[in-house]
Chains A and B, each alone.
With several copies, the nearest count.
Chain A
């Protein structure tokens, strides 16, 4: 199997095939023998050259993460031969940007109105969760094109709250 794997924004080429006790991997051209056992549904034990690693995975707000040695990495896996693997990509810095809810909560206050101008980092609204009020900031300088959030409404992680043009 061949994958393009993006770890914290950097793309790695991984070519792997099954072998006894694990996988023979070619990572960015380098051969690595990997002894791997799935110990729990989301936990792999990996031994490479005698070194032991536990790799945990989780999905959170639409992102896939892997954890190694207490550090979280954003991970995207795609098959270079598939069409789906090619499309998409990061949002364009210069186009409109969606502001999404970073966690489930309740919109308690809007700090700007539609069509108003905002600076990068300026507070756009306040979402409350777990007894804490959290200011949601604009990712860029621009105009508030759309403000879908409504005061008092419950939101889920990933819901679009506003669009900045």
Chain B
């Protein structure tokens, strides 16, 4: 087993992996940029080393610097987390060459799945169902028109190197196609340095459901059940759950077997996720494979009772999977909310800054994977994910109610978060009935939102504000006695009163 693991990432996922290391008796090494010296992932690590200035390109993406640190501190493995270098085949290869075990698949598996067209070509060979369309980049607008005619509109143009919705266009008629293709190609070139674009049939109101797989380095591959990830905003997942409200045992087995075939076709080792689009008839189509641990892995951990990070580490250390497919049993239901530093009342603008007050939920059925603490200043330089709040229950309704209860206990003061959005989702009838698709959240946000508030809340707000002011007046008076000026901005005029009256 490894003695020391370096975690080449930042934020909550590093805290998550550090915890797993400590649970396995392995020393955990953090790395940090200048913006992150005070970050929670540095506090929780056994060792920590500076990488460079705040921009990721000068710190968390610096392959050589990270490998230098690994060598210097004698880490024998690197966990890449998600994002940053986690799906970078060059990094995986550089780790192998430096003699440091990369905790994830081989560079070759990553490369096969890194290009969507290459992945489609390979999946075609392996007989995997995927959304009809081309498996190679389009050579001309004419070819595009031909293909689109054959599979029928609406179609979707997608960048082969794509991700995050970039280089993507939905096309409803032949007339729009040429301009859309040009726009997609030039956006793909700008975003990924690769203009390759291909066509997929557009699935109307699909669900996004993904299957977790786990493979050891001895040819054993299992699936651990699906996650429903249809609740998205700007192609960003916001709420995920396991199991999916529409997947039954038979569909799970069929999707799982396809996912295992995908992983085997890619010679895959370690944890990976196969994403599917599911249409309204519950047909599922291979979309892509994520060759890393997912943000939303906790929901799978809660329903399977397994620890995916422990298993990743065991697998990377060369061990065989300690169980077989038939041993994997799902129990209960788990739902995850991604808590972002953004302001739902202000167009979801990011909201970095100092966390002045932090009250975190706990108790039965609640798991909180966080990367923050009271007093910390959330930097402006990185992604706004603060924490993942997960509710687990015997069934979907209990998980929902527990999550709602926990959100009521959660308070982050000093910056804004999207916690209020989740209350709205959890109370929504469509959510509760499991009527979800990737357009769900946009529809919900467009619908009128009444603030659900007890009649007395405003009065209490007024009384509370008054008491805060009065307490400050009193203590300002005391402080002024001792000659010290008070600085609070809460009630200038209230203090003025104390001095004048």
Contact = CB atoms under 8 A, between A and B. Distances in A.
Bound pair (A, B)? yes
A150 interface: no
Given A52-B47, A82-B496, A103-B352, A75 B380 contact: no
A64 B47 contact: no
A8 interface: yes
Q: For chain A, give the interface size range.
A: 35 or more
**B47, B382, B460, B491 interface centre (most CB from chain A within 10 Å):** B460
A51 B47 contact: yes
B466 A43 contact: no
A62 B350 CA distance: 17
Contact of B469 (A10, A37, A56, A77): A77
A39 B353 CA distance: 15
A16 B411 CA distance: 28
B494 interface: yes
Contacts of B73: 50
Interface stretch (A66-74, A111-119, A141-149): A66-74
Given A79-B494, A105-B380, A53 B460 contact: yes
B351 A103 contact: yes
A98 B500 CA distance: 34
A34 interface: yes
Given A39-B38, A71-B453, A79 B496 contact: yes
A82 B379 CA distance: 39
Most buried by A among B414, B464, B471, B492: B464
A interface secondary structure, majority: strand
A12 interface: yes
Given A103-B349, A130-B380, A7 B461 contact: yes
Nearest to B419: A70
Interface string A1-33: 101010110101010100001010101000010
A26 to B, nearest CB: 10
B466 A134 contact: no
A151 interface: no
Contact of B461 (A47, A55, A62): A55
Interface of B: 29-30, 37-38, 42-43, 45-49, 73, 341-343, 345-347, 349-353, 356-357, 373-376, 380-384, 407-408, 411, 413-416, 419-420, 423, 451, 453-454, 456-471, 473, 489-494, 496-497, 500-501
Q: Which 10 pairs from chain A and chain B are nearest by CB?
A: A55-B464, A130-B350, A79-B497, A75-B465, A130-B384, A58-B413, A129-B350, A85-B493, A73-B461, A79-B493
Interface of A: 1, 3, 5, 7-8, 10, 12, 14, 16, 21, 23, 25, 27, 32, 34-40, 42-48, 50-60, 62, 64, 66-73, 75, 77-79, 81-85, 102-106, 129-132, 134, 157
30 contacts: A1-B494, A3-B465, A5-B462, A5-B466, A14-B466, A32-B463, A34-B463, A36-B467, A39-B38, A39-B375, A40-B375, A45-B42, A47-B48, A48-B460, A51-B456, A52-B42, A58-B356, A58-B413, A60-B414, A68-B457, A71-B453, A73-B461, A81-B501, A83-B496, A102-B343, A102-B346, A129-B352, A134-B347, A134-B350, A157-B353
